Amino acid sequence: MAAGDPRLAGKVALITGGASGLGRVGAERFAAEGARVVIADVADPEVADAAVEAVAASGGEVSYVHCDVSDSDAVAAAVEHTVSTFGGLDVLYNNAGVMIGDDDDPVATPLETYERTMDINVRGVLLGCRHAIPAMLAGRGGSIINVASFVAHMGAATPQIAYTASKGAVLAMTREIAVIYARRGIRANALCPGPIMTPMLAKFLSDDAKRQRRLVHIPMGRFGNPEEIANGALFLASDESSWMTGQSLIIDGGITAAYVTPE
């Protein structure tokens, strides 16, 4: 890649959960840097159409495929769609995830909430890797970006046992995948955001007291914005991170670097 060239020129990226939130911002950023992007999501048609239009406006080629990441056949079809549409697969961005409202402590959290969280956040990542890796091995190798969280490294300020457990599993899985495929041209890294002001977080922080409870733990004194996470994903997707695998890229405003006495 010559200086000044788009950072993802010639690459094909599959982004799960790419129709909204962090996924959509990432899709737009990838497209602006030259990637051909497939958005895989369960979004309503109008949301999917808006995402496709936004990504196309960023300057890249884009396609949408309806995909429930907890369904193996659906994920396999999404990978097949990516390869048939754009000729290969270079970047898998496992971004799809859920944080369910009644996720609480180990005693109070409904088992259904735990199971649904694990189905999307962990099984979804596994299935993405299961179906994308053969396509990457058949091509030029590639980069897998699995979205974990800063809570994979430390306990959350507010109890959310299912979410925290799921993100810890994603981090461990990423390390294992990285080791298995390190000599076969595939890199795998975990992207670990701190609290980012997306619609998913906003619904949990519906009043100032709840927001301040989170902000007290962030040394930089503010929530992150989606573009800051997209920049981290872009680095992991690009050849700039070519000697980086099995790692955790934490973008959290300093939370994991600080010692804060619990309230």
CB-CB neighbours of 1 under 10 Å: 13
Nearest to 128, CA basis, from 212, 184, 71, 181:
71
The one catalytic residue among 93, 114, 163, 181: 163
HSE-CB of 9 using CA atoms within 13 angstroms: 7
Residue 261 and residue 211 in contact, taking contact as beta carbons nearer than 8 Å? no
Question: Any catalytic annotation for residue 163?
Answer: yes
Give me the DSSP letters along 177-235. Answer: HHHHHTTTTEEEEEEEE--B-SHHHHTT--SHHHHHHHHTT-TTSS-B-HHHHHHHHHH
Residues with catalytic roles: 163
